[in-house]
Amino acid sequence: MENDIAISVKNLHKSFKLPTERAWGLKQAIFNRLKGVKGYKEQKVLNGISFDIHRNEFVGIIGRNGSGKSTLLKTLAKIYFPEKGSIDVNGNLIPFIELGVGFNYELSGRENIYLNGALLGFSNKEMDTMYDEIVDFAELRDFMDQKLKNYSSGMQVRLAFSIAIRAKGDILLLDEVLAVGDAAFQQKCNNYFAEIKGKQTVILVTHSMENVRKYCTRAILIENGKIALDDSPEKVAKAYENLWK
């Protein structure tokens, strides 16, 4: 793989087996087997997707609900295994499919940072070096020894978000998480993304064309599990808005 390429995806296929109406239960299973009926329907979600993402590109992935964006992201994050095709990742990939995954409400903020770090593959020593930055960005230093359940929901997402962006990864995967918290914190998030634009590899799944235009250096429109358009943010955002006009 060329050194300049962060992620190389080739001919990705993924489908899910969705159980049909009454496929559950032993009786129905035997019945289906006898009649030769498959108890499930095959749903093709990704249908031959290929692209290369270069280092320091900020790529927006857009598409309507059910077009396969999130599945693509989860496949990139190695949560799902593709049936066909390959994904080559060059560097350390930090997935944030949802904020606050793995948070434990009975643990303190500090403990949660280390637990979350371990889930992302960072050792405690590595987390030590990131700890201060995370706490400072979240502006939660006074609350670090409090249990997470005593945080307000805004404080919880601030902590999760800070871990996401301060974890030292090469590639950041984000699903619809950009600006969280109150207005002041949202502003801080926006500034942060404007700042890293073109300096870090980010893949963002979003529905907001405003964000695509503002932060992305490239956008990919996905329709029915295929790439419909892979171009500049402006062109792709227009194409997306024209989908239902």
Partner 1 sequence: MAIPNFTYKGNRVLLKELTKTDFKLRYQGSVLGYLWALLRPLMMFAILYVVFGKLLRFGGDIPHYSVYLLAGTTFWSFFTECTNQGIQAIVQRGELIRKICFPKYIVVVSATLTAVINLLINLVVVVIFALLDGITPSWTWLLMPLILLEFYCLALGISFLLGAINVKYRDITSIWDVLTQALFYAVPIIYPISMIATTSDIAAKIILLNPIAQIIQDIRYCLITPETVTTWNYVGTSNFAIKLIPILITVIILIWGSWYFRKKSKKFAEEI
CB-nearer residue toward partner 1: 225 or 233 = 225
CA gap 130, 124 in Å, rounded: 10
CB-nearer residue toward partner 1: 31 or 114 = 114
Other Cβ atoms less than 10 A from the Cβ of 199: the count is 10
CB-nearer residue toward partner 1: 120 or 212 = 120
Smallest distance from the beta carbon of 198 to partner 1, in angstroms?
A: 27
CB-nearer residue toward partner 1: 75 or 200 = 75
CB-nearer residue toward partner 1: 45 or 212 = 45
Smallest distance from the beta carbon of 4 to partner 1, in angstroms?
A: 25
Phi-psi region of 132 (alpha: psi -120 to 50; beta: other; left: phi over 0): alpha
Nearest to 75 by CA among 83, 65, 67, 63: 83
Smallest distance from the beta carbon of 124 to partner 1, in angstroms?
A: 6
CA gap 97, 2 in Å, rounded: 27
Residues whose CB falls within 8 Å of the CB of residue 101, separated by 6 or more in sequence, listed in order: 119
User: Do the Cβ atoms of 105 and 153 come closer than 8 Å?
Assistant: no
CA gap 54, 75 in Å, rounded: 18
Smallest distance from the beta carbon of 97 to partner 1, in angstroms?
A: 5
The backbone torsions φ and ψ at residue 105, rounded to the nearest 5 degrees and listed phi first, read -75, -15
CB-nearer residue toward partner 1: 99 or 236 = 99
Smallest distance from the beta carbon of 50 to partner 1, in angstroms?
A: 21
Q: Is 124 exposed, middle or buried (0-12, 13-18, 19+ CB in 10 A)?
A: exposed
Q: Give the type of residue at 116.
A: N
Smallest distance from the beta carbon of 93 to partner 1, in angstroms?
A: 9
CB-nearer residue toward partner 1: 119 or 194 = 119
List contacts with partner 1 (CB under 8 A): 16, 74, 77-81, 95, 97-98, 101-102, 104, 106-107, 111, 114-115, 118-124
Reading the block at residue 113, the tokens are 């940072």
Smallest distance from the beta carbon of 202 to partner 1, in angstroms?
A: 18
The backbone torsions φ and ψ at residue 62, rounded to the nearest 5 degrees and listed phi first, read -125, 165
